[in-house]
Amino acid sequence: MDNILLDISYIIAIVIEIGLPVLLAIYMWKKYRVSWAIFFLGIALFLISLIRVPLNNIFNSFILQYFVGDLAVVFIGLFSSFTAGLFEEGVRLIAFGAIIKERSFKKGIMYGIGHGGGGESMIFVGMSILISFIAYKFFPEVLPSYSLEQISDIRWYFPLIGSIERIFAIVIQISLSVMLISAFMRKKYYFILIAIIYHMIIDFVSVYVGYRFGVLFTEIIVFIFAVISAVIIYILRPNKGMLKSS
């Protein structure tokens, strides 16, 4: 029974992680006529921002040579949070400062859907889970034994928790995109620094809470940040006349 529930949970999670960003992008395109190019730009630049991963790995290896336990988690968490904030907000800066010339609130939302939904949720998370699930179900011989054991031992509802986190993460990513595009639209460039710091805080707190208290508490923290992010989006929204304009 648990195996069936786990399979269903994986399927639902994959549908959410891959399908939701596409549905959101379709909504923005049909409702507000925002170009799909903005969505795909968000995907491309998110993937480019992943050049930070090898840098994180080098730093992590160095830290683990000298530190263990809480100190290692803190140092690794701080560095990975710093690079995430710097590189991801850096590519947003390129998008809104150099590539997208005619800026609007709607384009900020569409870029956020592409960055956090298309790039992070759909490709980075959803596609990797889909490939792993297909391999586990139909080609288990290609997976190492420890991977099979990890998938078999996972609680059936964990994939659903992960997909819910992706929904929260998309809201957060949209808020960061809205903050960055608003920095240019409103000429309040300190929003850029605020976005970097906010991104770092979200990542570090989520990682550390997960380490100290477990995955369920991490989801609570991410939910709280998603609510804060939704408020940020609401506060930075333009008036109705601006929203209807391109």
- Rounded CA-CA distance 125/10 in Å is 12
Please say if the pLDDT value at position 58 is more than 50: yes
List of residues 6+ apart from 48 with CB closer than 8 A: 91
Please say if the pLDDT value at position 21 is more than 50: yes
Closest CA to 177 of 99, 112, 107: 112
Identify the residue with better confidence: 110 or 4: 110
Positive or negative, the Cα torsion across 155, 160, 163, 167? negative
Say if CB 233 and CB 108 are below 8 A apart. Answer: no
Which of the four pLDDT bands, split at 50, 70 and 90, describes residue 144?
Answer: confident
User: What is the three-class DSSP state of 238?
Assistant: coil
Please tell me the predicted confidence (pLDDT) of residue 246: 39
- Rounded CA-CA distance 153/200 in Å is 32
- Rounded CA-CA distance 215/217 in Å is 5
Across the chain, mean pLDDT equals 91
Say if CB 172 and CB 230 are below 8 A apart. Answer: no
Mean local confidence (pLDDT), 152-170: 88
Which of the four pLDDT bands, split at 50, 70 and 90, describes residue 243?
Answer: very low
pLDDT single digits (tens) 72-91: 999 999 999 999 999 999 99
Please say if the pLDDT value at position 244 is more than 60: no
List of residues 6+ apart from 127 with CB closer than 8 A: 18
CB burial class (10 A; 0-12, 13-18, 19+) of residue 232?
buried
